[in-house]
Amino acid sequence: MTLVMGIVNVTPDSFSDGGRYLDAGAAVSHGLSLRAQGADILDVGGESTRPGAERVEPAVERDRVVPVVRALAEAGVVVSIDTMNATTALAAVEAGARIVNDVSGGLADPELLAAVAPTGADVVLGHWRGPSADMYAQAEYGDVVAEVLGELARRIEAAAAAGIAPSRVILDPGIGFGKRGDQNWAALRGTTRLAGLGSRVLIGTSRKRFLAETLTAEAGAEYTDVGEDRLDLGTAVTSVLAAHAGAWGVRVHDVAATVDALRVARAWEGESRWASPTRSR
């Protein structure tokens, strides 16, 4: 059964829900609500990675996320920390996080992989070609899937060299990161091939621009006119398709919609047709 990772943004500027849960109490309450809706994992982040976002000082990031991680972990939640900083990753793991989700795959902070290695935490390695402030500068591909697979394979090697066994690695093709429009769809169509590298695969399409562009392509409307309800429907559909392609997990804002969509899809096709991921330790 594909796992659902709920998003808890403890930020003032995330592209979808920035500022709603900046207060630690509000973030914890939101996280517990997502768990009640069926989230298997909660991904707590204190730094926006939206296009154009500037970096946040690690000390500020830690102040935002550590109290939230600790409270959710104490409540029995499986917590992932969404960070590109080694110091934040370590502080979050010490507070109870069991997964480190680095959208840069260990490239933004060269110390992260080695720092996390002795903790035993699982690590999400995202496909990344540069910081959010200029993430589209290198969105040039000859073969999107082949290049994403090749670059992530090298991140697996880097993690192993740092002491992180392949069994602890989760791969994320970085939908929306350094990819424009149809490049994201191509990367998604490569999910089965990505799973073929032997690691678990996490897919995150939630409320991203390429969905809005797709929904408005034939209507002549601006992608910014697409509301969250339509984006969440698109997210639920892509999450079902990702699960069918073998994804271990899907990362979403609207947990309830995705949980329902996955439940209906499983009923239609039967459990045997779906991925059976190893649950987080």
Whether 281 is catalytic is no
**Cβ atoms within 10 Å, residue 263:** 13
Q: How buried is 143 (Cβ within 10 angstroms: 0-12 exposed, 13-18 middle, 19+ buried)?
A: exposed
Q: Which of 200, 208, 209, 266 is catalytic?
A: 208
CB neighbours of 123 closer than 8 A, spacing ≥ 6? 99, 100, 101, 102, 106, 113, 116, 159, 164, 168, 169, 170
Spatial neighbors of 227 by CB under 8 A, at least 6 apart, are none
Are the beta carbons of 277 and 200 closer than 8 angstroms?
A: yes
Catalytic choice (251, 273, 279, 281) = 251
208 is catalytic: yes
Q: How far apart are the first and last CA of the chain?
A: 16
Residue type, 107: L
Q: Which residue numbers are catalytic?
A: 208, 251
